Amino acid sequence: MAEEMQLTNTSANNFEQCLKCSICTVYCPVSAVNTAYPGPKQAGPDGERYRLKDPDFYQETLKLCLNCKRCEVACPSGVRIGDIIQQARMNHFTHRPKLRDVMLANTDFVGSMVTLVAPITNFTLGLKPVKVVMDAALAIDKHRTFPAYSGTKFERWYKKHAAAEQDTFAKHVSYFHGCYVNYNFPKLGQDLVKLMNAVGYGVRLLEKEKCCGVALMSNGLYKQARRQGETNMASMRLAIERGEEVLTTSSTCTFTMRDEYAHLLGIANDDVRAHLTLATRFLYRLIDEGSVQLAFRPDYKRRLAYHTACHMQRMGWAIYSIELLRMIPGLELDVLESQCCGIAGTYGFKKENYATSQAIGESLFQSIADANVEAVVTDCETCKWQIEMSTGVPVENPISVLADALDVEKTKKLNGL
């Protein structure tokens, strides 16, 4: 039989396995608010067939894709629609990125420069006239506030206050902190160290850590992203050889390094992927298998809402963060319907995307307002900026919530320390 000759049908990113059911378009947050976007089905598998014939079928409107990957979650045929669109942008968008995009993309470089003069930068970036100038000259939307830069980098804090003590532990994990923790919010890194130390794990930093490259990729700087990715993978291999798992506290960095490195940048990461995980997932699994226990402060009492970031949805890992939070007796947790907040990293900072970005987030903002909570919990830092700006409700990472609720002494005792 002829059919036995073709036991599988495959294609790049499975684009040809699309059955044209169109459910991806139903779940696309951009299609819902911006008719200029052709939608994931046409931008992805449909367009791909014609781009193979003639690259001129590439359309500029593909830039409107957020790369939220909700289309891939919806697809019943395993088509990597988001990857197809990103790949098309990589292959066909040949202009040099604008100055603004280079600045937004280089979170690492800009971060280390700015940290040196953080108070001035924070003050200046917050000034209305500066915002107006950035809006006009760089097309960075004036409604946006840049995340404040911290005066002390996480890495420096770690060396000074934490590094020595980590060696005293019997077991270790490595921590990929990411740009946000390093330059803007070292507290999250400190919370992770507190939490892991309490359950008996020393936290080490990687030999060399570079920005995961997600912002570079979405701004067209692929070569640089690939270089940085290779550096990260090499450092992680060293950690894995020492027998350490590599933990993260940012869903997007994690997703980029686990999935987009291989799919889009062609970085071989098979050996690293299984050892690279979000801290909440690592912790939940330890608790689930009974090897560690957490104890919480009896006086802790808060009402919070959990927001599932798009890449958490794509990885299917929101459940770990949610279940961990639910272990806190004094915490009343409202799990919000999973939907995109609209920021998508640097996307929402661009003036041309501001309206789309806010329209996408509108329904989420409303549900947060209706939830009437003290704070929102999410695993993604850019969701945090968007939600805080758009709703005024503070946003925290689950690791910080856990660290705050933790009874450190009791936890240590439970874990035999």
Q: Does 60 bind other proteins (CB under 8 A)?
A: yes
Least CB distance to other proteins at residue 268 (A): 20
Tokens of 39: 């939608």
- x/- string (CB under 8 A) for other proteins, residues 16-55? xxxxxxx---------------x--xx---xxxxx-xxx-
17 Cβ partners below 8 Å, 6+ apart?
Answer: 9, 10, 11, 77, 78, 79
Q: Which is nearer to other proteins, 84 or 215 (CB)?
A: 84
Q: Which is nearer to other proteins, 21 or 136 (CB)?
A: 21
DSSP 116-145: TTHHHHHHHHHSHHHHHHHHHHH-B-TT--
- x/- string (CB under 8 A) for other proteins, residues 230-269? ----------------------------------------
Residues 63-82 that bind other proteins (CB under 8 A): 77
Q: Which is nearer to other proteins, 47 or 229 (CB)?
A: 47
Tokens of 292: 């560690």
Q: Is 92 exposed, middle or buried (0-12, 13-18, 19+ CB in 10 A)?
A: middle
Coil/strand/helix, residue 201: strand
Least CB distance to other proteins at residue 362 (A): 24
Closest to 309 measured CA to CA, from 256, 247, 370: 256
Q: Where are the alpha helices (DSSP H) in 275-406?
A: 279-288, 310-315, 318-326, 354-371, 381-391, 398-405
Q: Which is nearer to other proteins, 43 or 364 (CB)?
A: 43
Closest to 241 measured CA to CA, from 262, 271, 203, 261: 271
* Residue 206 dihedral angles phi and psi, to the nearest 5°: -75, 155
Q: Which is nearer to other proteins, 6 or 168 (CB)?
A: 6
Least CB distance to other proteins at residue 74 (A): 15
Least CB distance to other proteins at residue 16 (A): 5
Tokens of 239: 């950690």
The structure tokens 């280390």 sit at 112
- x/- string (CB under 8 A) for other proteins, residues 194-233? ----------------------------------------
Q: Does 10 bind other proteins (CB under 8 A)?
A: yes
Q: Which is nearer to other proteins, 12 or 137 (CB)?
A: 12
Q: Does 56 bind other proteins (CB under 8 A)?
A: yes
Residues in contact with other proteins, counted by CB under 8 A, come to a total of: 35
Q: Which is nearer to other proteins, 2 or 164 (CB)?
A: 2
Least CB distance to other proteins at residue 186 (A): 43
Q: Among residues 23, 59, 143, 275, which is the contact residue for other proteins, using CB under 8 A? A: 59
Find the part of the chain contacting other proteins (CB under 8 A) among 10-18, 137-145, 199-207, 347-355.
Answer: 10-18
> Is 315 within 8 Å of 385 (Cβ atoms)?
no
Rg of the chain in Å (alpha carbons): 22
Least CB distance to other proteins at residue 3 (A): 4
Q: Where are the alpha helices (DSSP H) in 316-353?
A: 318-326
* Residue 332 dihedral angles phi and psi, to the nearest 5°: -100, 115
Residues lying near other proteins in the complex (CB under 8 A) are found at: 1-3, 5-6, 8-11, 15-22, 38, 41-42, 46-50, 52-54, 56-61, 77
